[in-house]
């Protein structure tokens, strides 16, 4: 049994090794023979191969482009994973049976690249290459699209959702015009504003979006990654850019943000992760960079407890880092093609802290890594 997995036996072993590592690293006065034993034990730990997935989901019949967990709510004993595929289907996976409960078809067989629940597993939002964002009602076994928004955007920029009140959401999406981002209120579909860069900015298309707010009721803010490699912070209420930072030489493929630490991370087709922060004057600043072994990041996600993050790589691998220091923790090597997406579960339950990854190889790997951190 691998010591990285979340089991009772491995948790004890991992705690022991962590204590030994601290003793060794801090050079506490111990016998030379004990130092040698500690060093040997740590060497063995580092030599252990990465764990296998806890289980693998097969049957999408197409590359997987987006994943979203729903492990809580009124029926926490039925944990679900939603996946969106290149063939236009959304699969609802029962994580107890490892089988598909429902297959949803609402995007004209065009690739689905964003799936999110809205306040529970019965209300679903999906976005596809048919230029539509669909709202679904899945209560009582229904599989119907109740409403949709025509985006007119031809790229792969995923929309971003933010709950602002009970039953009210803000949605940011790439607009028809090349550099613009539109903000709508759902479910009314009322236009809140359109975010337009200054004339001559030459940011290119928005590639990834992240709506957030410091606390419930505070002003909503948007982080947008653009084709020119920039990340821009927008004040949604004022409809103006607050700060702009050049993070990459290539388009920003994915980003995530930790509002508690005011720190974010982004990846591109380069061999570099860019970590940046937001100071008290609302200015974005480069915090540090991390060079990767292989180029190309499809997706980045910070776990909800803000302790680790995962990246989806073009080199077929999933990489796990500590979020505090961006220390590499693990390289998960299972898939045989590009990993398109990664997603963490987000509820205190027996299904807490799972990691799912979707790949071009048509498989979804589900992992239990550092569940006790």
Q: What is the pLDDT of residues 174-230, one digit of tens each?
A: 998 889 999 999 999 999 999 999 888 899 999 999 999 987 768 899 999 999 999
Res. 366: pLDDT tops 90: yes
- DSSP string for residues in 77-93: TS-EEEEEETTSEEEEE
The whole-angstrom distance between residue 15's C-alpha and the CA centroid of its chain comes to 28
Q: What value does the mean pLDDT take over residues 264-293?
A: 95
This prediction has a pTM of 0.85
Q: Which of 15-29, 91-105, 172-186, 356-370 has the weakest average pLDDT?
A: 15-29
Long-range interactions of 239-246: CB distance < 8 A, separation 24+: 239/193, 239/194, 239/195, 241/195, 241/197, 241/198, 242/282, 242/283, 243/278, 243/282, 243/283, 243/284, 244/284, 245/276, 245/284, 245/285, 245/286
What burial letters (b/e) apply to 291-304, b meaning 16+ CB within 10 Å? ebeeebbbbbbbbe
**pLDDT (tens digit, 9 = 90+) per residue, 28-58?**
444 555 656 655 655 554 555 667 899 999 9
Rounded distance between C-alpha atoms, residue 259 and residue 64, angstroms: 29
The mean pLDDT value of the chain amounts to: 87
Tokens matching residue 242: 């607050």
Cis amide leading into 187 (omega within 30): yes
Res. 24: pLDDT tops 80: no
Q: Which of 4-13, 51-60, 64-73 has the weakest average pLDDT?
A: 4-13
Q: What value does the mean pLDDT take over residues 1-17?
A: 41
**pLDDT (tens digit, 9 = 90+) per residue, 215-241?**
776 889 999 999 999 999 999 999 999
**Other beta carbons within 10 Å of 176:** 12
Rounded distance between C-alpha atoms, residue 252 and residue 300, angstroms: 11
């Amino acid at each position: 049994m691998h010591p990285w997995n979340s089991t009772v036996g491995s948790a004890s072993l991992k705690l022991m090794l962590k204590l030994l590592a601290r003793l060794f690293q801090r050079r506490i006065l111990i016998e030379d023979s004990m130092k040698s034993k500690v060093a040997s034990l740590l060497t063995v730990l580092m030599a252990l191969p990465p764990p296998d997935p806890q289980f693998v989901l097969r049957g999408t019949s197409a590359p997987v482009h987006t994943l979203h967990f729903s492990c809580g709510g009124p029926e926490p004993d039925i944990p679900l994973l939603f996946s969106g595929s290149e063939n236009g289907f959304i699969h609802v996976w029962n994580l107890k049976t490892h089988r598909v409960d429902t297959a949803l078809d609402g995007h004209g067989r065009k690739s689905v690249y964003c799936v999110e629940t809205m306040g529970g597993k019965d209300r679903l939002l999906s976005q596809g290459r048919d230029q539509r964002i669909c709202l679904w009602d899945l209560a009582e076994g229904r599989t119907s699209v109740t409403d949709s928004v025509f985006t007119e955007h031809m790229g792969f920029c995923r929309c971003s959702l933010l709950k602002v009140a009970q039953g009210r959401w803000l949605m940011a999406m790439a607009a028809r015009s090349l550099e613009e981002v539109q903000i709508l209120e759902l479910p009314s579909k009322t236009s809140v504003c359109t975010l337009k860069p200054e004339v001559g900015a030459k940011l290119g298309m928005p590639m990834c979006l992240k709506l957030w707010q410091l606390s419930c009721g505070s002003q909503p803010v948007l982080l947008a990654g653009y084709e020119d490699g920039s990340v821009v912070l927008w004040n949604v209420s004022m409809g103006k850019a607050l700060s702009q930072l050049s993070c990459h030489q290539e388009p920003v493929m994915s980003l995530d943000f930790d509002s508690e630490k005011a720190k974010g991370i982004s990846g591109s087709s380069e061999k570099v992760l860019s970590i940046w922060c937001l100071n008290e004057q609302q200015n974005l600043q480069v915090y540090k960079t991390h060079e990767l072994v292989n180029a190309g990041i499809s997706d980045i996600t910070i776990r909800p407890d803000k302790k680790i993050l995962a990246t989806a790589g073009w080199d077929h691998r999933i990489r796990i880092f500590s979020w505090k220091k961006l220390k590499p923790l693990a390289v998960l090597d299972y898939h045989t093609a590009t990993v398109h997406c990664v997603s963490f579960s987000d509820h205190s339950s027996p299904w807490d802290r799972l990691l799912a990854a979707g790949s071009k190889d048509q498989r979804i790997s589900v992992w239990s890594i550092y569940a006790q951190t």
